[in-house]
Amino acid sequence: MKVAAKVTRPADAGERENWDDSGSGGMAHPVTEGELDLSHGVILYLDDITVSFDGFRALNKLTLSIDVGELRCVIGPNGAGKTTMMDVITGKTRPDSGTAFFGQTMDLTKLAEAEIAHAGIGRKFQKPTIFEHHTVFENLELAMKTDKRVRRSLFARLRSEDYDRIAQTLTTIRLEHEADREAGLLSHGQKQWLEIGMLLMQEPRLLLLDEPVAGMTDDETERTAELFVSLAGQHSLMVVEHDMAFVEALGGKVTVLHEGSVLAEGDLASVQADPRVIEVYLGR
Amino acid sequence: MTRITTDARTVALTRKSRLLLMGGLALAWGVVPLLALVLPAGNPLHLSDYALTLTGKILCYATVAVALDLIWGYAGILSLGHGLFFALGGYAFGMYLMRSIGRDGNYQSDLPDFMVFLDWKELPWFWHGTDSFVWSMLLVLLVPAALAWVFGFFAFRSRIKGVYFSIITQALTYAAMLLFFRNETGFGGNNGFTDFKRVLGFPITAPETRVVLFGLSATLLMGAIVLGRVLITSKFGRVLMATRDAESRVMFLGYQPLYYKLTVWTLSAMLCALAGALYVPQVGIINPSEMSPANSIEIAIWVAVGGRGTLIGPVFGAAIVNLAKSWFTMSFPEYWLFFLGLMFILVTLWLPDGVVGLWRKLRAGRAARRAAADTAAATVAPPAPTTPAPAPAAGGGDKSAAPGVSGAIAKGA
């Protein structure tokens, strides 16, 4: 439980109000509905997941786990099951068998997409989907974690801490000088960053990033790598990417997927040296 | 940090628009009564009954156009059945006006004339209480609101949008028209309600009454615009516009677009109903033809001509089209529909943002030319800034002028 508290940032303090620290009678893990339990230091467990589409096994007994605060890269040739894996985690696709747990208690295979997003898994799709006619500031404002019902929105005023949060995110994604610009006018790389910023405003615990540097310039790619490295620790990240230079710049643990299961796992150098990996993927 | 202190984004009304509003109110409640009541009929500045009623009518139409712009321009929902809510408001208030006739009708009965004509012996249940002004005003607001809410709930929940939604709203108003055409429905059949005598005890055709109705229509229109401004500059408005642009993304952020759409949709219907309630005493008649699909399409044309997503544009659109209509139907009655169609085609092809869009484009062009001249004048201009930001930002500022944050953008850029 203390581990959980360590990774919980102050902004989330309100969520833990129903955790009874004082007189719980020695209960080790108060299990609260919809509450993320990170007591074992692992944020995501995928165990023996199989997904078939018309007889084709997109995922084949995939087993994978991600630690709290980890920055994990997932690579693999086309059709290795990377996107399907993300679909399973976000509830878009239901596995035929196997289990997927977010923290110790949350069974992702039983939650709806919106519930999973609310629980703290944020996903960035390949194509940035920002609100092009809104300013950068407004995009972040809309994404901010808050009461999103109509009657609150009608009278919503940004408090100074909201301004601070948005300003902080703007700095993180290096768009502090573009706050008042229409988002549609940003460069491709900036749009990707804005989308990442919008994810961050939702205060996710786990970020899933699908080919985040596709279409970026080398300079932008480099800055994105810096951004992700700075996010790790505070957040857990899972990055699917083809760009090896980018994966190298991230420097975390690498998982190689092949035909729906894990082929190899380790740091990039050891993975690249693995003959099986060379055969299926890197050496072609 | 200093960059995002754009307080302008939350200001619904600038000082200029506040002054304009004051001016509008002074005009409606001060100048117009003076011209219509105090000046003798011979004076060239005298406002005739005809002109007063025509303008009052157009103000009601303009309110409907603003209401449609709220949902079409900002939520991307094109209703081609808004005439229904307008007519329902008119009918609800018309019931009160019918009851106010008392025994002064042709048949000197307590019942409205058409009921005597149909040989009805007592008021249908839904006519009870309509002799009360307060109750009928409640009906004006609540009946269209309830219909809009229920219809909207099912339509938006089933994610019906685009042209399908438009077609269903057409069908809705058409069905209502057929229903109201029937004598058995209890609303006077195809003759509707007419021959009103008084409103709140005042003779309905008296110039003083007309002046007050005119003033109320102008106030309602300004109120609708202010309400619209407040809505679209709130976070609610930003969510609404985001829904218009990328609905699934909005849902992904945890908003429920259904209730956002439903709120603005119901509000829009209520604005139409109020306009209808003010329209009926001014023109002296309400009948089911107000619900005809063609009427509702015309409302959409007002908005398109004026400029959708601008709030103020639809006011001009309604005025331009209706003044043209008044003139055409007197001079060349048989060509009016052709002209209306032509206007719609021309606006769609050449003026996607309507007359307001055209005006803004002209103004932006002039500003750009002036800026270019200034740069040329500065002979030893410093090298262009390294960031590519300024040039596209200026262009974008013009384009985004509609949502009302242009001031903030322009200042920021």
Burial of B104 (0-12, 13-18, 19+ CB in 10 A): exposed
Spatial distance between the Cα atoms of A273 and A209, rounded to a whole number of angstroms: 25
pLDDT digits (tens, 9 = 90+) for B91-143: 999 999 999 998 888 888 889 999 998 999 999 999 999 999 999 999 999 99
Residues B94, B114, single domain; the answer is yes
Nearest-angstrom CA–CA distance, B282 and B291: 18
* Closest to B339 measured CA to CA, from A164, B347, A108, B66: B347
DSSP string, B264-299: HHHHHHHHHHHHHHHHHHHHSEE-GGGGSHHHHHHH
Query: Do the bridges between strand A42-53 and strand A56-67 make them parallel or antiparallel, or are there none, so unpaired?
Result: antiparallel
- Which two three-digit tokens encode residue B33? 């009564």
| Cα gap A72→A86, rounded to integer Å | 13
**CA distance readout (Å), A124 to A45, A165, B252, B291:** 20, 20, 11, 47
Residue A229 Cα distances to A56, A140, A232, A251, B120, angstroms = 36, 21, 5, 8, 82
Instruction: Give the Å distances, CA to CA, from B233 to A132, A185, B240.
Output: 17, 21, 11
Over its C-alpha atoms, chain B yields an Rg (Å, rounded) of 24
Provide the residue range defining the domain that includes B403: 361-377+387-412
Q: CA–CA separation, B290 vs B277, rounded Å?
A: 13
B224 CB-near residues (< 8 Å, 6+ apart): B63, B66, B67, B271
Considering the domain architecture, whether residues B366 and B333 belong to the same structural domain is answered as: no
In a domain, A155, yes or no: yes
Q: State the smallest CA–CA distance between residue A16 and chain B in angstroms.
A: 21
Tell me how many domains chain A contains: 1
If asked whether residues B405 and B319 sit together in one domain, one would say no
* Residue A27 resides in a domain: no
Helices B293-306, B336-350: crossing angle, 10 deg rounding: 40
* Residues A42-70 pLDDT 10s: 899 999 999 998 888 889 999 999 999 99
Domain-located, residue B356: no
Q: Which residues does B380 contact at the CB level (< 8 Å), separation at least 6?
A: none
Q: How many CB atoms lie within 10 A of CB B202?
A: 14
Give, for all 413 residues of chain B, the pLDDT tens digit: 434 444 445 567 888 889 999 999 999 999 999 898 888 888 888 888 889 999 999 999 999 999 999 999 999 999 999 999 999 999 999 999 999 998 888 888 889 999 998 999 999 999 999 999 999 999 999 999 999 999 999 999 998 988 999 999 999 999 999 999 999 999 999 999 999 999 999 999 999 999 999 999 999 999 999 999 999 999 999 999 999 999 888 887 888 899 999 999 999 999 999 999 999 999 999 999 999 999 999 999 999 999 999 999 999 999 999 999 988 888 888 888 888 889 889 988 888 889 998 999 899 899 888 888 887 776 544 444 444 433 333 333 333 333 333 333 333 33
B369 and B232 share a domain? Answer: no
User: Positive or negative CA dihedral for B71, B73, B78, B81?
Assistant: positive
Nearest residue in A to B251, CA atom? A114
Question: What does the angle CA A277 – CA A278 – CA A281 come to, to the nearest 5 degrees?
Answer: 70
B365 and B282, same structural domain? no
Q: Which helix (H) or strand (E) holds B154?
A: helix B133-157
User: Taking an 8 Å Cβ-Cβ cutoff, which residues of chain A contact chain B?
Assistant: 114, 117-118, 129-135, 137-138, 141-143, 148-150, 153-157, 163, 166-167, 170, 176-182, 184-185, 198, 202
DSSP state of B37: I
Which two tokens mark B222?
């300004």
- Count of structural domains within chain B: 2
Does B238 sit within 8 Å of A134, measured CB to CB?
yes
* Alpha carbon of A262: minimum distance to chain B alpha carbons (Å): 30
Residue A108 maps to a domain: no
Query: What is d(CA B78, CA A209) in angstroms, rounded to the nearest whole number?
Result: 36
Task: Say yes or no: B162 and B195 in one domain.
Answer: yes
Contacts (Cβ under 8 Å, ≥6 apart) of A269: none
CA distance B74 to B238: 9
In a domain, A138, yes or no: yes
Contact call for A142 and B239, based on CB within 8 A: yes
Residues 6+ apart with CB under 8 A from B84: B144, B147, B169, B172, B173, B176, B291, B296
| Domain presence at residue B180 | yes
Contact at CB, A182 and B1, closer than 8 angstroms: no
Cβ pairs bridging A and B (under 8 Å): 110
* C-beta atoms of A134 and B242 within 8 A: yes
Provide the residue range defining the domain that includes A187: 126-203
CB contact under 8 A, B403 and A148: no
**Helix (H/G/I), strand (E/B), else coil: A134:** coil
